[in-house]
Copies of this chain bind each other. A is one copy, B any other.
Amino acid sequence: MEIDLSPEDFEFRQEVRDFLKENTAKPGADYSQWRLDYFKKAAAKGGWDVPKWPVEFGGPGWSPTQHYIWEQETVTASLPWDMPFGIGMLAPILMNYGSKEQIDRFLPDIRERSVNWCQGYSEPGAGSDLASLKTKAVLSDDGTHYTVTGTKVWTTMAHMADWMFCLTRTDDTGIKQEGITFLLIPMKQDGIEVTPIITLGGAHSVNMVHITDVKVPVENRIGEEGKGWTYAKGLLQHERTGLAGISRSIVALENLKRQAQSVSRGNRTLMDDPAFKSKVAELEIDLLAVEFTELRSLAAAASGDDPGPESSILKLKGTEIQQRIQKLTVEAGGIYSAAWGVPVGHKFARSGMQGYLGGRANTIYGGASEVQKDVIAKNVLGLKRS
């Protein structure tokens, strides 16, 4: 048992630090250009633009420890804006189930970040029960294309996307997990209508997408007809683990402490208030624990074992911790947390309330916490329910 980094790991960490320092955006530089340049330079390091991709597709082939180091180092660095939909969600499905032609056609653009993707899974009325989707795809008699009609919802960044990867129903006679087909659909065409959904924090990032009689050539189908659920499902669990955001929470907690120290209470600060201090301490303790839970999970993966039962905890605990940090930030903001859209009083109060409101979604999307517990009860504790 040991958690020390090896000399090679230390060397790697230094290399990461140097790289990140060199490639920070210069003040005044053109953001979009810098962004594309950054990914080119990262690619030149040997796959640092796609850390999680397998080596055969250009990934760096890092050890779990190296991944951990990368995550720790990048969480405080100002990396360019990146969306997970192409890189993290579609790419693995393409690699595993796409044809050679599809891989050649789509993967390079994904890697260059020159094409934006969105994920067309959720539907109104389906919620965490994704498989009950109803968007219909009907194969033409000549077998050349599908005609797709239906509605997707909570589609993040649909209004910025060039393409959608989309689960559709091609058969509704059997059990609902069967008869789902995985299609790739261009967004900029007639029959696709994107309606913004404004969420509690006032932000627009999710959308409703109405799809009406859109023709999709069969070469845009991934794998076999009716097998789409199988392709998507594995990634979902993977996505969930990624949502724990533990490194980000460590940074967020340090910010919270600094913010609370900036709030004066008599001669002292809010961080000296026993009740507030206790809540921060309890949060930090849970974070110290869950950080090691993540390491245990990484170590298990490194030794080739299945991720242990501990990995199932990560999304649940991770998102709960995010929300607690957000809530304490609002509490630290005090009277100023009520102000909306203007900077008033404590500097952090404005983004604090936005973060708290937006963060309520963390325990809903990617499988609501209640559903996660059902999954753990079944898969980890081995319980059934009648």
Q: How many copies does the complex hold?
A: 2
**Which B residue sits closest to A273, measured CB to CB?**
B274
* CB of A162, distance to nearest CB on chain B (Å): 44
With A and B bound together, what is the CA distance between A275 and B274 in angstroms? 8
With a cutoff of 8 Å between Cβ atoms, the chain B residues found around residue A275 in the complex are 274, 278
With A and B bound together, what is the CA distance between A86 and B275 in angstroms? 49
With A and B bound together, what is the CA distance between A274 and B274 in angstroms? 7
* CB of A338, distance to nearest CB on chain B (Å): 24
* CB of A274, distance to nearest CB on chain B (Å): 4
**Which B residue sits closest to A277, measured CB to CB?**
B274
With a cutoff of 8 Å between Cβ atoms, the chain B residues found around residue A274 in the complex are 274-275, 278
With A and B bound together, what is the CA distance between A274 and B276 in angstroms? 11
Kindly supply a per-residue 1/0 record for chain A positions 263-279, scoring 1 wherever the CB is within 8 Å of any chain B CB and 0 otherwise: 00000000000110010
With a cutoff of 8 Å between Cβ atoms, the chain B residues found around residue A278 in the complex are 274-275
* CB of A222, distance to nearest CB on chain B (Å): 36
With A and B bound together, what is the CA distance between A275 and B281 in angstroms? 13
With A and B bound together, what is the CA distance between A254 and B278 in angstroms? 26
* CB of A263, distance to nearest CB on chain B (Å): 18
* CB of A284, distance to nearest CB on chain B (Å): 16
With A and B bound together, what is the CA distance between A275 and B279 in angstroms? 11
**Which B residue sits closest to A275, measured CB to CB?**
B278
With A and B bound together, what is the CA distance between A274 and B275 in angstroms? 8
With A and B bound together, what is the CA distance between A278 and B275 in angstroms? 8
**Which B residue sits closest to A274, measured CB to CB?**
B274
With A and B bound together, what is the CA distance between A278 and B278 in angstroms? 11
- A269-310 at interface with B (beta carbon < 8 Å): 274-275, 278
Kindly supply a per-residue 1/0 record for chain A positions 215-250, scoring 1 wherever the CB is within 8 Å of any chain B CB and 0 otherwise: 000000000000000000000000000000000000
* CB of A113, distance to nearest CB on chain B (Å): 48
With A and B bound together, what is the CA distance between A275 and B275 in angstroms? 7
With A and B bound together, what is the CA distance between A274 and B278 in angstroms? 10
With A and B bound together, what is the CA distance between A218 and B123 in angstroms? 65
* CB of A281, distance to nearest CB on chain B (Å): 11
* CB of A271, distance to nearest CB on chain B (Å): 14
**Which B residue sits closest to A278, measured CB to CB?**
B275
* CB of A335, distance to nearest CB on chain B (Å): 22
* CB of A275, distance to nearest CB on chain B (Å): 6
With A and B bound together, what is the CA distance between A382 and B278 in angstroms? 40
The 4 closest A-B pairs by CB, nearest first: A274-B274, A275-B278, A274-B275, A274-B278
A–B pairs, 4, beta carbons within 8 Å: A274-B274, A274-B275, A274-B278, A275-B278
Q: Which residues of A contact B (CB under 8 A)?
A: 274-275, 278
